[in-house]
DNA sequence: AAAATATGTTCCGCTATGCGGTACATCCAC
DNA sequence: GTGGATGTACCGCATAGCGGAACATATTTT
């Protein structure tokens, strides 16, 4: 039966088509737990995990036990709290390190961040979020305490909207559906923001979010449509509203961020080169 | 057995006490899959994964499907191969970024790497491996293509032995048992190396591995016994045998690496400060 | 050209798995 | 003390998810 035609978009957690004989739920649950750890929650207790993941206490207990045995979490016996262990590190870093857009973009991002007295980020999509791949900020910039690996919403941030604006209509459609389903009550407003962004990107090359996500934060985003394994990427400049007034964005920062994006895109002509090492069988010990 | 032409870093801690009512096996299997991806294997096919993890084809197929849906892997339809997706990144990076030993040590490590024309690494233990937390190398140094997040064996490398040397006898005991069980035939030789290292560290503050892991690689290691969430850490200098002759190590490099370690340890007086944010319940959507 | 290999996906029966309710054990605060 | 948290352990039961095999599909061999 050749019915597996659907494009593999990364459907986010939460909506499991339930009756999927292929889906390994226990794995998903375990990853839900790991996912809770971010720069905002360096350490978490079983209780917090249970609340944050909507999994039963017993289940969490088993999962944290398993993850600890495997080195993905470490347990602080004194506080009874967990934090990411050395094992977790290997996962993420491997993908980051060889990802050359970052190397190329980093110095330019730092310059612009310093110039604007704000922060500049490079993001990819992860479900209904945008995830920080690279992040530079001006030393004296105030802002949210974000860092590489953190996630921010897709629908209400400028990076997210820039991302959406760069997609083809067919790709965007299902994603918008999901956003709507995810929070129907917010949808009318969210939708307007996105449509505006699509127009803005088409006409001026950038879009904004002036307090649409966090009231006191302004930001602008520009998509980078380059052939990366993570698909479309996008840049933003973000900071306090007072630092980034609309006029400044429009006349000065937007052209600069667009320029940055253009230069990065140019520098990425020669990439690729996939090496494929053979993988030896592992003795099935156990 | 055959020559180790390709270095297999991913040997897992294969021996789990099996009958553990608390242990979630499906989760472990899924993580085994993610773990296969490293700087040596940027992309992998289902077949390679099946071989490398000793899991059945059907199981791998289900796991890669699940991981892809969740954004931890991305699938390249053309080649049929997987690579780590944006989701994976969030895991590792969160733990790395806030880990201040790295910030402190990095510049010193770079200096020493440049001076020695070799590479310098900071490692923690992950099962029976040492994992690279930070890594600096001289621009013109040849060596293994390692990077942050990669793993190398505990028992035959200098960092690993330095780590072992810094443990208390009671802690070390079970670990040594595990090493022995993991490869009984190699044990006599491995054991001698470790005992030598323990003596060396006690008497001179460092230990070496002169080709004990990879024939043409020499290295020396120094433990850093500081109160970190990852437990004991250790530094190494590593490079080609011709670059790191024993005499040079003994007279020049060892004192320098010990000095580096000492300085890092001193700088880490004022650390700690744990912030604990509350965790809001998640609407149990589903 | 098959035919032979190697690859990945799907199907399906069976059992071990892992889920969650409950009970138990601590630890706080008051 | 009691009441409210917290985390672990137990255990019955449904089902998740495992693996062998059948089925596709691509790649190479003859």
- The answer, yes or no, to whether residue A36 has pLDDT greater than 60, is yes
Nearest residue (Cα to C1') for D23? A1
* Whether residue B248 sits in one domain with residue B106: yes
- The answer, yes or no, to whether residue B4 has pLDDT greater than 50, is no
Number of A:B CB contacts under 8 A? 294
Final residue of a domain: which of A38, A71, A90? A90
Number of domains in chain B: 2
Final residue of a domain: which of B41, B66, B90? B90
CA of B47 to C1' of C5 (A): 14
Residue A16: pLDDT band with limits 50, 70, 90: very low
DSSP string, A261-282: HHHHHHHTSS------------
* Average confidence (pLDDT) over B40-69: 88
CATH classification at residue B188: 3.30.450.40
- B221 forms bridges with which residues in the sheet? B207, B236
User: Closest chain B residue to A18 measured between Cα atoms?
Assistant: B286
What pLDDT was estimated at residue A262?
92
CA of A228 to C1' of D26 (A): 26
B211-214 contacts, C-beta under 8 A, 24 or more apart: B211/B241, B212/B156, B212/B157, B213/B152, B213/B153, B213/B156, B213/B157, B214/B7, B214/B144
Integer Cα distance of B20 and A82 in angstroms: 21
What pLDDT was estimated at residue A94?
72
**Does A89 sit within 8 Å of B96, measured CB to CB?**
yes
Residue with structure tokens 């040596």? Answer: B40
Over pLDDT 70: what percentage of chain B?
A: 86
**How many CB atoms lie under 10 A from the CB of residue B229?**
17
Quick: pLDDT tens for B75-130: 887 778 898 888 888 887 777 766 778 888 999 999 999 999 999 999 999 999 99
Residue B2 forms part of a structural domain: no
**Does B76 sit within 8 Å of A229, measured CB to CB?**
yes
* Whether residue B163 sits in one domain with residue B60: no
Residue A127 forms part of a structural domain: yes
**Does A133 sit within 8 Å of B94, measured CB to CB?**
no
**Taking the mean position of all CA atoms in its chain, how far away is CA B172?**
18
Name the nucleotide with the smallest C1'–CA separation from A26.
C18
**How many CB atoms lie under 10 A from the CB of residue A194?**
21
Residue A188 burial (C-beta neighbours within 10 Å; 0-12, 13-18, 19+): exposed
Residue A227 forms part of a structural domain: yes
In the sheet that holds B81-84, the strands lie side by side as B43-45, B81-84, B73-76
- The answer, yes or no, to whether residue B2 has pLDDT greater than 90, is no
Final residue of a domain: which of B48, B68, B90? B90
* Whether residue B143 sits in one domain with residue B36: no
* Tally of CA atoms within 13 A in the half-sphere of B38 that contains its CB: 27
- The answer, yes or no, to whether residue B219 has pLDDT greater than 50, is yes
A50-59, B33-42, B122-131, B223-232: which is most confident: B122-131
Residue B7 forms part of a structural domain: no
Residue B6 forms part of a structural domain: no
Name the nucleotide with the smallest C1'–CA separation from B23.
C18
What is the gyration radius of the CA atoms in chain B, in angstroms?
A: 20
Nearest 5°: CA angle at A42, between A152 and A110?
55
Residues 2-41 of B with CB under 7 A from strand D: 21-22, 25-26, 29
SS3 content of chain B, % helix, strand, coil (to 5): 45, 20, 35
Residue B218 forms part of a structural domain: yes
Integer Cα distance of A137 and A184 in angstroms: 34
**Does B27 sit within 8 Å of A279, measured CB to CB?**
no
CATH classification at residue A78: 1.10.10.10
Residue B71 forms part of a structural domain: yes
* Whether residue B150 sits in one domain with residue B48: no
Integer Cα distance of B217 and A257 in angstroms: 46
With a 7 Å cutoff on the CB, does A49 touch strand C? no
* Whether residue B169 sits in one domain with residue B43: no
Nucleotides of C under 7 A from a protein CB: 6-12, 17-22
With a 7 Å cutoff on the CB, does A69 touch strand D? no
Residue B209 forms part of a structural domain: yes
CA of A280 to C1' of C3 (A): 28
* Whether residue B189 sits in one domain with residue B246: yes
**Does A13 sit within 8 Å of B131, measured CB to CB?**
no
* Whether residue B221 sits in one domain with residue B139: yes
Phi/psi zone of residue A117: left (φ > 0), alpha (ψ -120 to 50 degrees), beta? left
Separation in Å, CA B115 to CA B74, B102, B139, B243, B257: 40, 19, 11, 12, 11
* Whether residue A129 sits in one domain with residue A46: no
Chain A residues inside the 8 Å CB shell of B175: none
Quick: pLDDT tens for A236-263: 999 999 999 999 999 999 999 999 999 9
**Does A95 sit within 8 Å of B89, measured CB to CB?**
yes
With a 7 Å cutoff on the CB, does A16 touch strand D? no
Nearest residue (Cα to C1') for C22? A58
* Average confidence (pLDDT) over B230-238: 91
User: Closest chain A residue to B152 measured between Cα atoms?
Assistant: A90
Residue B275: pLDDT band with limits 50, 70, 90: very low
* Whether residue A218 sits in one domain with residue A130: yes
Quick: pLDDT tens for A96-133: 766 778 888 999 999 999 999 999 999 999 989 999 99
Quick: pLDDT tens for A193-215: 999 999 999 999 999 999 999 99
* Whether residue B254 sits in one domain with residue B118: yes
* Whether residue B146 sits in one domain with residue B60: no
Pairing of strands B119-126, B129-137: antiparallel
**Does A149 sit within 8 Å of B92, measured CB to CB?**
yes
Nearest 5°: CA angle at A209, between A203 and A214?
175
CB within 8 A of A3, min separation 6: which ones? none
* Whether residue A179 sits in one domain with residue A54: no
SS3 A32: helix
In the sheet that holds B217-224, the strands lie side by side as B151-153, B129-137, B119-126, B233-240, B217-224, B207-210
CA of B46 to C1' of D10 (A): 39
Question: B119 lies in which domain range?
Answer: 99-267
């Amino acid at each position: 039966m050749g019915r597996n035609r659907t494009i593999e978009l990364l459907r986010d957690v939460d909506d499991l088509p339930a009756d999927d004989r292929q889906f390994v739920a226990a794995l998903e649950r375990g990853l839900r737990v790991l996912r809770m750890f971010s720069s905002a929650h360096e350490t978490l207790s079983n209780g917090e995990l249970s609340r944050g993941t909507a999994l039963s206490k017993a289940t969490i207990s088993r999962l944290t036990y398993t993850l600890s045995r495997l080195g993905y979490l470490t347990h602080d016996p004194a506080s009874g709290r967990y934090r990411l262990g050395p094992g977790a590190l290997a996962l993420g870093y491997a993908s980051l390190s060889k990802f050359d857009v970052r190397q190329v973009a980093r110095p330019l991002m730092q310059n612009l961040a310093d110039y604007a007295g704000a922060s500049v980020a490079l993001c990819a999509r992860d479900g209904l979020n945008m995830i920080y791949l690279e992040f530079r900020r001006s030393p004296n910039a105030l802002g949210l305490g974000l860092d590489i690996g953190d996630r921010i919403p897709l629908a209400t941030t400028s990076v997210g909207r820039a991302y959406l604006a760069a997609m083809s209509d067919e790709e965007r459609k299902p994603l918008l559906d999901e956003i709507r389903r995810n929070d129907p009550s917010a949808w009318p407003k969210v939708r307007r923001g996105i449509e505006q962004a699509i127009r803005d990107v088409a006409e001026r090359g950038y879009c904004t979010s002036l307090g649409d996500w966090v009231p006191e934060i302004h930001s602008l985003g520009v998509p980078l449509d380059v052939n990366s394994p993570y698909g479309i990427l996008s840049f933003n400049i973000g900071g306090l509203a007072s630092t980034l007034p609309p006029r400044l964005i429009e006349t000065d920062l937007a052209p600069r961020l667009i320029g940055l994006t253009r230069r990065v895109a140019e520098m990425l002509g020669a990439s690729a080169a996939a090496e494929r090492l053979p993988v030896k069988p592992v003795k099935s010990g156990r």
